[in-house]
Amino acid sequence: MSTANPPFSSTPSTVRTPALLGATAKALMQKIESKTATIAIVGLGYVGLPLVRAIRDSGYPVIGFDVDQRKIDALNKGARYILHLGDDFFSTLQADKQFTPTSNPLDLAKADLVVLCVPTPLGPHHEPDLTYVLESTKTSAKSLRKGQLVVLESTTYPGTTRDEMKPILDAVGLKCGEDYFLAYSPEREDPGSMGRSAQHIPKLVGGVDDVSTDLAMAFYTRVVKSAHRVSTAEIAESAKLLENIYRAVNIALVNEMKIVLTDMNIDVWEVIAAASTKPFGFQAFYPGPGLGGHCIPIDPYYLTWKAREVGRTTRFIELAGEVNTSMPHYVIERTQLALNDHSKSVKGSKVLVLGIAYKKNIDDPRESPSAEIIELLRDHGADVSYHDPHLAIFPAMRKHRVNLSSVALTPATLAASDCVLILTDHDAVDYSLLGQHARLVVDTRNAMARVPEKHMKCQLVKS
């Protein structure tokens, strides 16, 4: 008979009774249940800060740790450094006496729970780079004490929590599952999406042992609306990868469809809208100029790399990666053809890129395809500028140095541009202005579909 827990259950049955816990675990459980446990968040970025808010809203005192002193200074001043969280978020944290931002790793010793929310990028050959995970684990180990629970939230390959983190923590001399506890609960942030705050997105929770899972479940069920217990940390790690691989593969599918249908003079956007009328068996995904962000372009390769250890290949994942990473070159090809129709070459043309964030309505350019597209345009001799209402300066990236600042979006700017290339469809942009004053618009996001026909005086190319 199945003993599986019901999905997204927050009922007490997901946690074992205190009588089954050892003395150390029982003491920590009591702190969690009474909300007297102090929680430390390691990494105060796009994942860590929303989690800070969820934990503070639930009543726990929070220590926020980051090695970047600029973030600590900003938090102490109430200064916003992540756009979509809003000014009120930062001013509220500044005034909150139960929140302590710090860059001093010794402060982690005060915490009962330490939650790691650090990046997991790729190396130069698409191999996992666990530098941040391992360094933050070592930092946590220096202050690890009896009765602490450590939780990793970073997306990574199956086995990271048990095989990479646990040995570092074990080296302190404490026994996992008795003296300290270790679990994995993947982040599920959706920046810029209304109604999807950290509190309202279901959490997966899996420990390296049952007691660790019990304690982590007790914590998360008091912080988020619902949490789902899984049997091991490896299940939770794998589930997070599946979520992101599912998106990567389906985005590659519609990107490939776009290329084929465009050559057939068929509007892929209308095709997707038509297919979406089916109430079952179909979920809409949308094409774009490439993949961006800290998850979808990166996480699938974590499984690809791990699969090689067991002698397997991940053909779907790798093919999807090839399609998605080729999209910036397709955008350049479409831009070249559009300019050719105006008797212009890319070389010497003034191209205004609209939007450099990896998705709409946020200020995050990580892994954004816009950086590669701008570099490709420059390689072809284009005079490139950009406008993004959320990013005044194009920040330095791991692989790219664009060195541009956002220009004002005015009728004069549009009229002076040979081509406007839409890469991110921010809502704060007046697309009717483009329709009235731009000469040529290459639209990779179907953003111009919102412009009334009477305002469309430009030539529009859907890409």
Catalytic residues: 295
34 CB contacts (<8 Å, ≥6 apart)?
none
**What does each C-alpha distance from 303 to 126, 250, 314, 324, 367 come to in angstroms?**
11, 17, 8, 17, 19
What is the Cα–Cα distance from 329 to 376, expressed in whole angstroms?
Answer: 8
Structure tokens at 434: 């483009």
Residue closest to 40 by CA, chosen among 140, 176, 126, 127: 140
What is the Cα–Cα distance from 369 to 296, expressed in whole angstroms?
Answer: 12
The number of angstroms, rounded, from the C-alpha of 5 to the middle of its chain's C-alpha atoms is 28
What is the Cα–Cα distance from 38 to 82, expressed in whole angstroms?
Answer: 25
The residues with which 182 forms a beta bridge, in sequence order, are 150
Residue closest to 83 by CA, chosen among 430, 427, 417, 462: 427
Within 13 Å and on the Cβ side, how many CA atoms surround 93? 31
- Identity at 371, one-letter amino acid code: A
Structure tokens at 28: 């920590």
| Phi and psi, residue 140, nearest 5° | -65, -35
- What burial class does residue 106 get, using C-beta atoms within 10 Å of its C-beta: 0-12 exposed, 13-18 middle, 19+ buried? exposed
What is the Cα–Cα distance from 207 to 181, expressed in whole angstroms?
Answer: 8
Which H or E run includes 455? none
Strand segments, DSSP code E, in 91-202 are 99-102, 113-116, 149-152, 181-184
Which H or E run includes 61? none
Q: Tell me 384's DSSP state.
A: E
Q: What is the DSSP pairing of strand 181-184 with strand 227-229?
A: unpaired
What is the Cα–Cα distance from 243 to 296, expressed in whole angstroms?
Answer: 9
Decide: 229 and 11 in contact? Cβ < 8 Å: no
